[in-house]
């Protein structure tokens, strides 16, 4: 889609073996393909002309992992993939129909949706102008602070409109924000990653979801992760962070790994570094880029409230910041407002967001002296689901006279089915490690994995009882599958723990 905004003579991506040849006519001759522009996991993008000789962009549904072209006709690569292909085409049409209803001056307009060649197409505006990545990399003129602040306001309006329609964009980045030469306005493009809902079969294409290092929040990297409006706002903030600082933002995975390793957030805040911008403007961007979803600005309304120096209106039924809204398979599910969780003025919240994320991971040395064995899950849970703590020595008050390097306390949490975890005091804090995984267990955890973060809420496993508390709370809500960010060797990844159902 980015190429759709550039003159074809300025942008040469080469050719694709699967592309339609120049001169191909679509929709009974209403559109004529001029050239190949771009391709991605779900489609191929072309520069074209309509029947009035206007330059437009045509996007063709072409999930290359399981389809191929014979002549102009597109079909599944095998019989086994036919259902997946048809499901993807249906989703593409539904997406295009939804996007055609978006009517905002800062969002690319979809004009036609049609089926042909056994696949589907959408026709949209051609935006002539550079993207924000070109401006920051020197391919286009630099922007003034006044322009940057104005453009951010326009993008907030556009994203707010998207969210109001029950969608998430999921691919906001500098190269997907174009500066229209005609209007001088920024235009948000490339909704190929947005989704309202998907079927079980269409989940097979979830591996094609868009992740852009530096701009994607950490939840975009995790298969099946929960996403919400603040996920889009993270990406928007990261885009303007790059524009203002000239620095490519650290990836959210780098940040998460460093924070979990007690090294501190490697991302330098904007606030206090650029005097050409108001303090609250920079603080809002910093807060929107908080690594954990619950610490971010949760909506466009809250972002605007911070800029205006007032608190955002709270919804009648306030929700927890940690409550997930949608998954990577359903990244455009309805977006609901969420009440701010942290007290204090907006600028205080913005300034302390990074320190909160760091402090939550640290366990004080004094707390080690008061460790007790783990308790069972609450009595209201059935006995078959109750993790039982192994008997361990309890540190007494006399241990206060013992040096810390001689104090090693390990608690073991055993779950139904035999899976076990060890919570051990280390020089940098509490470490929750997988110690036993039964052969028949369906978990994707492995022995030796270190649990860092409970992914849906961003809670860290930095205390002796953190895992027990999370399982107790979530199981009471009926949850049986739990997703964690883990450290396996030198890598950070996602893995799941499953509690079975009785009977």
- Tens of pLDDT, residues 271-280: 999 999 999 9
17 bridge partner residues: none
> What is the reported pLDDT for 390?
39
Spatial CA neighbour of 162 closest among 193, 207, 125, 131: 193
Instruction: Give how far Cα 25 sits from Cα of 16, 40, 92, 118, 380, Å.
Output: 18, 22, 21, 15, 66
Q: Are residues 147 and 253 in the same domain?
A: yes
At 208, the pLDDT band (50, 70, 90 cuts) reads very low
Q: What is the CATH number of the domain that holds 245?
A: 1.10.510.10
Q: Final residue of a domain: which of 359, 390, 410?
A: 359
> What is the reported pLDDT for 50?
94
Q: Are residues 20 and 44 in the same domain?
A: yes
> What is the reported pLDDT for 242?
95
Q: Are residues 487 and 417 in the same domain?
A: yes
Q: Are residues 468 and 373 in the same domain?
A: yes
Tokens read off for 148: 């940057």
Of 149-158, 383-392, 493-502, minimum mean pLDDT range:
383-392
CB 187, CB 110: distance < 8 Å: no
Domain limits for position 191: 132-359
Compute the distance between CA of residue 376 and CA of residue 416 in angstroms, rounded to an integer.
Answer: 12
> What is the reported pLDDT for 234?
95
Work out the number of other CB atoms within 10 angstroms of the CB of residue 377. Answer: 21
Q: Are residues 159 and 250 in the same domain?
A: yes
The answer, yes or no, to whether residue 232 has pLDDT greater than 70, is yes
Indicate the DSSP class of residue 131: B
CB 419, CB 443: distance < 8 Å: yes
Asked if the structure places residue 456 within a domain, the reply is yes
Q: What is the CATH number of the domain that holds 104?
A: 3.30.200.20
Tokens read off for 202: 């269409």
Work out the number of other CB atoms within 10 angstroms of the CB of residue 417. Answer: 18
Instruction: Give how far Cα 442 sits from Cα of 9, 28, 369, 418, Å.
Output: 53, 53, 36, 12
Instruction: Give how far Cα 52 sits from Cα of 7, 109, 320, Å.
Output: 19, 17, 52
Asked if the structure places residue 249 within a domain, the reply is yes
Q: Is-above-0.85 flag for pTM? A: no
CB 422, CB 430: distance < 8 Å: no
Q: Are residues 330 and 446 in the same domain?
A: no
Asked if the structure places residue 93 within a domain, the reply is yes
CA angle 412, 413, 419 (to 5 degrees): 110
Q: Final residue of a domain: which of 336, 359, 382?
A: 359
At 194, the pLDDT band (50, 70, 90 cuts) reads low
Tokens read off for 383: 């006995």
Mean pLDDT is highest, among 73-82, 253-262, 457-466, 470-479, for: 73-82
> What is the reported pLDDT for 399?
32
Q: Are residues 254 and 354 in the same domain?
A: yes
Compute the distance between CA of residue 220 and CA of residue 225 in angstroms, rounded to an integer.
Answer: 7
Asked if the structure places residue 503 within a domain, the reply is no
Tell me the Cα Rg of the chain: 25
> What is the reported pLDDT for 494?
84
b/e map 178-209, b = 16+ CB within 10 Å: bbbeeeebbbbbbbbbbbbebeeebbbbbeeb
Average pLDDT, the chain: 75
Percent of the chain with pLDDT over 90: 35
E-strand stretches of 62-146:
67-70, 73-76, 110-116, 119-125
Q: Are residues 160 and 292 in the same domain?
A: yes
> What is the reported pLDDT for 427?
67
Q: Final residue of a domain: which of 359, 380, 410?
A: 359
**Stretch 406-427: mean pLDDT:** 75
> What is the reported pLDDT for 192?
61
Asked if the structure places residue 34 within a domain, the reply is yes
CB 228, CB 325: distance < 8 Å: yes
At 174, the pLDDT band (50, 70, 90 cuts) reads very high
Q: Are residues 172 and 297 in the same domain?
A: yes
50 bridge partner residues: 31
Q: Are residues 108 and 160 in the same domain?
A: no
**Stretch 23-43: mean pLDDT:** 89
CA angle 500, 226, 1 (to 5 degrees): 135
> What is the reported pLDDT for 391?
34
Asked if the structure places residue 38 within a domain, the reply is yes
Q: Are residues 86 and 178 in the same domain?
A: no
Compute the distance between CA of residue 311 and CA of residue 348 in angstroms, rounded to an integer.
Answer: 12
The answer, yes or no, to whether residue 146 has pLDDT greater than 90, is yes
pLDDT digits (tens, 9 = 90+) for 75-102: 998 988 999 899 889 988 987 888 888 8
Q: How many domains does the chain have?
A: 3
Compute the distance between CA of residue 351 and CA of residue 175 in angstroms, rounded to an integer.
Answer: 29
Q: Are residues 173 and 265 in the same domain?
A: yes
The answer, yes or no, to whether residue 397 has pLDDT greater than 90, is no
The answer, yes or no, to whether residue 361 has pLDDT greater than 50, is no
423 bridge partner residues: 411, 432
> What is the reported pLDDT for 38?
82
At 453, the pLDDT band (50, 70, 90 cuts) reads confident
Compute the distance between CA of residue 146 and CA of residue 136 in angstroms, rounded to an integer.
Answer: 15
Backbone phi, then psi, for 267, in 5-degree steps?
Answer: -80, 125
At 346, the pLDDT band (50, 70, 90 cuts) reads very low
At 395, the pLDDT band (50, 70, 90 cuts) reads very low
Spatial CA neighbour of 44 closest among 66, 18, 82, 70: 18
Asked if the structure places residue 432 within a domain, the reply is yes
At 428, the pLDDT band (50, 70, 90 cuts) reads low
Distance of alpha carbon 477 from the chain centroid: 24
> What is the reported pLDDT for 442?
77
Ordered DSSP codes for 391-448: P-PPP-GGGGGS-GGG---EEEEE-TTS-EEEEEEETTEEEEEEEE--TT------TT
């Amino acid at each position: 889609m980015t190429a759709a905004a550039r003159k074809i003579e300025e942008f040469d991506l080469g050719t694709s073996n699967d592309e339609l040849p120049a001169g191909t006519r679509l929709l009974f001759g209403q559109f004529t393909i001029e050239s190949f522009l771009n391709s991605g996991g779900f489609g191929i993008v072309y520069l074209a002309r309509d029947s009035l000789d206007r330059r437009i962009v045509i996007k063709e549904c072409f999930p290359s992992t399981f389809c191929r072209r014979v002549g102009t006709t597109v079909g599944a690569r095998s019989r086994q993939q036919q259902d997946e292909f048809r499901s993807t085409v249906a989703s593409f049409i539904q997406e295009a129909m939804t996007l055609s209803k978006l009517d905002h001056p800062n969002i690319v307009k979809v004009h036609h949706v049609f089926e042909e060649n056994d696949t589907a197409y959408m026709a949209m505006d051609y935006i002539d102008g550079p993207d924000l990545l070109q401006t920051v990399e020197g391919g286009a003129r630099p922007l003034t602070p006044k322009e940057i602040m104005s453009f951010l306001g326009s993008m907030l309006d556009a994203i707010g409109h998207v969210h109001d329609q029950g969608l998430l964009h999921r691919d906001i980045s500098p190269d997907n924000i174009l500066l229209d030469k005609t209007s001088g306005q920024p235009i948000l493009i490339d909704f190929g990653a947005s989704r309202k809902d998907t079927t079980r079969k269409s989940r097979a294409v979830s591996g094609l979801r868009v992740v852009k290092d530096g701009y994607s929040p950490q939840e975009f990297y995790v298969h099946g992760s929960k996403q919400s409006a603040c996920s889009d706002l993270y990406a928007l903030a990261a885009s303007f962070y790059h524009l203002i600082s000239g620095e490519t933002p650290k990836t959210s995975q780098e940040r998460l790994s460093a924070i979990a390793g007690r090294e501190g957030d490697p991302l330098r805040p904007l606030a206090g570094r650029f005097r050409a911008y108001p303090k609250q403007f920079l603080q809002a961007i910093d807060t929107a880029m908080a690594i954990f979803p619950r610490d971010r600005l949760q909506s466009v309304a809250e972002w605007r409230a911070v800029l205006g120096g007032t608190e955002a209106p709270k919804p009648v039924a306030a929700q927890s910041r940690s409550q997930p809204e949608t998954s990577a398979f359903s990244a455009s599910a309805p977006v609901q407002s969420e009440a701010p969780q942290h007290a204090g003025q907006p600028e205080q919240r913005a300034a302390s967001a990074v320190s909160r994320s760091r402090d939550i991971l640290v366990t004080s040395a004094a707390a080690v002296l008061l460790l007790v064995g783990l308790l069972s899950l609450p009595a209201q849970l059935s006995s078959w689901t109750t993790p039982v703590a192994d008997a361990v020595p309890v540190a007494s008050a006399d241990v206060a006279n013992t040096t810390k390097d001689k104090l090693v306390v390990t608690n073991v949490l055993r779950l139904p089915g035999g899976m076990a975890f060890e919570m051990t005091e280390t020089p940098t804090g509490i470490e929750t490690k997988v110690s036993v995984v039964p052969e028949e267990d369906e978990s994707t955890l492995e022995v030796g994995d270190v649990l860092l973060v409970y992914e849906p809420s961003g809670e860290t496993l930095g205390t002796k009882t953190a895992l027990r508390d999370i399982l107790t709370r979530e199981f009471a809500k009926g949850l049986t599958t739990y997703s964690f960010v883990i450290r396996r060797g030198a890598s950070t990844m996602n893995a799941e723990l499953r509690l079975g159902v009785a009977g």
